Amino acid sequence: MTLQQLRCFTAVAKNLNFRRAAEQLYISQPAVTRQVQLLEAELGVPLFQRVQRHIVLTDAGRNFYSDAVDILDRVEFARQRAKQAAVSGPTLHIGCESSIQIYRLPQIYALYRQACPEVFISNTEVTHTERRELLASGQLDAAFMSRICVSDTVGLSYASLFHGHFCCVVPVGHRLAEYPTLSSRDLEGEVLILLDAVHCPPEMDAIQAQLLRECRNVTLNFSGSSLYTVPMIEGGLGIAVMPNFVCPASDKIRLIPFETESDIEYGIAWHSGDPSDKVRKFIHAARTAYGTL
């Protein structure tokens, strides 16, 4: 399978016409046809079928199309990053998580830009497990993550930035919305939204275990991310216990402190053996922004 085959296939799939695909790619129509045929032969399934005088994607073609577009997008992204690296200065690779509200991130970047104007910052959104692995392998220079995520990882250093607390997130108008605090016994009979096992970070494992242990008469729904959990709550699909800093401001939900012995500390981690100024100054900027120096 070649990139040219993928480009020819996606062009035909977009236009549902070999001639127009050839014009867009600036190659001959027979060349486009040949590349698609080679791709179909390798996959072992037809990607197009003729219906009267027109062509349409087969079921296999429709499924393959989205993956082919993703592959080509990633290749182009990699190409652009490589070109930029060749003409720009050093790059600082930061790992982050979209569901975590790093409220002082603009201040961190502003401070870092003053300290290291020549360094280009590249943000990578990855899961907690991937962040730890990429840090350990040196593919990330630093990453925002909770202390528990790095507590058992050799070779990583960690600096605390802020502490959070667990809260019960309920929609406005819910029977629990006006409670000053909530405990597990208050959640009896509710529909609870939990993070699924694949996407549940370590800091949520203990709290979800507590909920399953202490809340007997509940119905469970599952979510892959707090980004999806909050809309589920707003839509009336249930309530959830979550760290307060993963919940975006909204007039449709209420955050009520949840009674638990579990707490959560969030900070920044980096490879212990990295002595570079670009990393050291970013850690300094992050701690300055949060007043933890």
Dihedral angle computed from the Cα positions of residues 34, 38, 40 and 46, in that order, rounded to the nearest 10 degrees: 30
Mean pLDDT of 108-127: 88
pLDDT band for 89, please (50, 70, 90 cuts).
low
pLDDT of 121 > 60? The answer is yes
Residue 219 to residues 194, 224, 230, Cα–Cα distance (Å): 10, 17, 17
Q: What is the mean pLDDT of the chain?
A: 87
What pLDDT is recorded for position 87?
59
CA–CA distance, 59 with 64 (Å, rounded to integer)? 9
Query: Which pair of structure tokens corresponds to residue 154?
Result: 């050799």
pLDDT of 128 > 80? The answer is no
Q: 48-78: per-residue pLDDT in tens?
A: 998 877 889 999 999 899 899 989 988 887 7
Give pTM, 2 decimals: 0.63
Q: What are the residue boundaries of the structural domains of the chain, listed by start?
A: 3-86, 90-161+266-290, 166-262
CATH topology match: 90-161+266-290 vs 166-262: yes
CA–CA distance, 26 with 63 (Å, rounded to integer)? 26
Fold classification of 3-86 is: Arc Repressor Mutant, subunit A (1.10.10)
* Burial class of residue 109, CB neighbours in 10 A (0-12, 13-18, 19+): middle
Q: 130-143: per-residue pLDDT in tens?
A: 787 888 888 899 99
Considering the chain, what percentage of its residues have pLDDT values greater than 90? 48
pLDDT of 88 > 60? The answer is no
Let me know the angle formed at the C-alpha of 187 by 184 and 197, rounded to the nearest 5 degrees. Answer: 75
What pLDDT is recorded for position 86?
61
CA–CA distance, 43 with 35 (Å, rounded to integer)? 12
pLDDT of 236 > 80? The answer is yes
CATH architecture of 90-161+266-290: 3-Layer(aba) Sandwich (3.40)
For residue 291, is it left (φ>0), alpha (ψ between -120 and 50) or beta? left
Provide CB contacts within 8 A for 142, sequence distance 6+. Answer: 92, 93, 94, 95, 135, 268, 269, 270, 279, 282, 283
Task: Write down the residue that tokens 């009520």 correspond to.
Answer: 256
What pLDDT is recorded for position 98?
63
CA–CA distance, 6 with 39 (Å, rounded to integer)? 8
Q: What is the CATH number of domain 166-262?
A: 3.40.190.10
pLDDT of 41 > 80? The answer is yes
Helices marked H in the chain — which ranges? Answer: 3-15, 18-25, 29-43, 59-87, 105-115, 128-137, 147-150, 202-214, 226-234, 277-290
CB 165 within 8 A of CB 244: yes
pLDDT of 170 > 70? The answer is yes
What pLDDT is recorded for position 96?
83
Q: Coil, strand or helix: which one is 138? A: coil
CB 128 within 8 A of CB 97: yes
Considering the chain, what percentage of its residues have pLDDT values greater than 70? 96
Lowest mean pLDDT among 64-73, 95-104, 122-131: 95-104
Task: Write down the residue that tokens 């119905």 correspond to.
Answer: 219
DSSP string, 85-109: HHHS--EEEEEE-TTS--TTHHHHH
Rounded CA Rg of the chain: 25
